[in-house]
Homo-oligomer: A and B are copies of this chain.
Amino acid sequence: MRATVIHGPNDIRIEEVPDPRIQRPTDAVVRVVNACICGSDLWAYRGVAAREAGQRIGHEFLGVVEEVGSEVSDFKPGDFVVAPFVWSDGTCDFCREGLHTSCPEGGFWGQVGYDGGQGEAVRVPYADGTLVRLPKEAAGDEKLLPGLLALSDVMSTGHHAAVSAGVKAGATVAVVGDGAVGLCGVLAAHRLGAGRIIALGRHQVRTDIARRFGATDVVAERGEAAIEAVKELTKGQGAHAVLEAVGTEESMRTAISVARDGGAVGYVGVPHGGSAGVDIGQMFGRNISLNGGVAPARAYIPELLPDVLSGAIEPGLVFDRTVDLAGVPDGYRAMDERTALKVRIGF
């Protein structure tokens, strides 16, 4: 089969790789229908996150089950499924508690020795613990596919940010980051009943989506000016809940600074600025909480799925370009240059 392979910074190739096959009785093989490129893939693309030359890449996909191992009981060939961005055994303490990302048997698509999501097929470890079934009729529904695909990561991650920040009905929410996760965070906050949602972002194509997702205010400033602007919108108090969806030192500092005393920052941006943006002295005096981390998408998909199927939420709007597998290197370039927000890959 063909799959996306990363050889080094700015070196993404489409190559012929071995077909996946059942290796353990709990495996399934899924033929990919849609995959996508994640903002976090760009850290590898830019050489900031280390990858071995020749490693697979991509961690978001949905597709059709092609084959299952002898111990897979919940899926059979032909099932239409979405995969969360980590696999998990579904039976350990953490999986049973809904923190599938801490499963000791878990792993991340594309890690050394495993298939990535940006390929024609994927061997799925612990299929019963990992995959979530989708309605078969959705497989051919071009209107539904993007939203279902978004469940694998960005919508679930945006939801995790909102839940971690403690978004409640009527709350004032600020969202730091206008990437796909930040936008999905806006959507998740809106879905949870936030009364006011302030989106921080300066790219109109993105802030337009933010407004469509429920943002009531947009702040285009950055740094100190952004902090001032949010304070001004909130009687000088800041937001009850802040969603941090970038992961840099500056974004974390902004997020903590715009939180209202007693409020919480839901952090889901993969940290690439160390802890320098976390000012524990400021947090202490103002009782700011920092909650979040890598999103247990597997736990959230069943809750979010009905709203995607009904059209109540349309996270698929974050996709503004679709490529075929051969177009993936171009897709990375476009996202790196911010000429595309999020790229979907059709097979």
Say yes or no: A262-B97 contact (C-beta < 8 A), given A278-B275, A278-B280, A281-B274.
Answer: yes
How far apart sit A38 and B279, CA to CA, in the bound complex (Å)? 24
Say yes or no: A274-B280 contact (C-beta < 8 A), given A261-B99, A262-B99.
Answer: yes
A283 at interface by CB-CB < 8 Å:
yes
Interface residues in A38-97 by Cβ distance below 8 A to B read 93-94, 97
Which of A4-12, A16-24, A287-295, A336-344 is the interface stretch? A287-295
Which secondary structure dominates where chain A touches chain B? Answer: mixed
How far apart sit A291 and B274, CA to CA, in the bound complex (Å)? 19
How far apart sit A180 and B321, CA to CA, in the bound complex (Å)? 59
Interface residues in A285-308 by Cβ distance below 8 A to B read 285-294, 296
Q: Are A275 and B267 in contact, with the CB atoms below 8 A? A: no
Q: Are A292 and B281 in contact, with the CB atoms below 8 A? A: no
Residues of B within 8 A of A296 (CB): 287
> A62 to chain B: closest CB distance in Å?
25
How far apart sit A262 and B292, CA to CA, in the bound complex (Å)? 9
Known: A102-B262, A289-B289, A289-B292. 5 other contacts (CB 8 A): A97-B262, A101-B285, A102-B287, A164-B289, A274-B280
Say yes or no: A289-B291 contact (C-beta < 8 A), given A102-B262, A279-B275.
Answer: yes
Q: Are B280 and A94 in contact, with the CB atoms below 8 A? A: no
Provide 21 A-B residue pairs closer than 8 Å at the C-beta atoms, listed in order of the A residue. Answer: A93-B237, A94-B261, A97-B262, A99-B262, A99-B287, A101-B285, A102-B286, A267-B280, A274-B281, A275-B275, A275-B279, A275-B280, A278-B280, A284-B293, A285-B293, A285-B294, A286-B293, A287-B293, A289-B291, A289-B292, A290-B290
Find the B residue at minimum CB distance from A279: B275
State the A residues within 8 Å of B (CB): 93-94, 97, 99, 101-102, 164, 237, 252, 261-262, 264, 267, 270-271, 274-276, 278-281, 283-294, 296
Q: What are the 3 closest A-B residue pairs judged by CB atoms, nearest first? A: A287-B293, A102-B261, A289-B291
How far apart sit A296 and B280, CA to CA, in the bound complex (Å)? 17
Residues of B within 8 A of A271 (CB): 280-281, 284
Find the B residue at minimum CB distance from A160: B287
Residues of B within 8 A of A285 (CB): 101, 293-294
> A254 to chain B: closest CB distance in Å?
15
Q: Are A283 and B293 in contact, with the CB atoms below 8 A? A: yes
- Residue from B93, B276, B291 within 8 A of A291 (CB atoms): B291
Say yes or no: A287-B278 contact (C-beta < 8 A), given A261-B94, A262-B99.
Answer: no
Residues of B within 8 A of A279 (CB): 275
How far apart sit A164 and B291, CA to CA, in the bound complex (Å)? 12
Find the B residue at minimum CB distance from A235: B93
How far apart sit A97 and B271, CA to CA, in the bound complex (Å)? 32
Residues of B within 8 A of A289 (CB): 164, 289-292
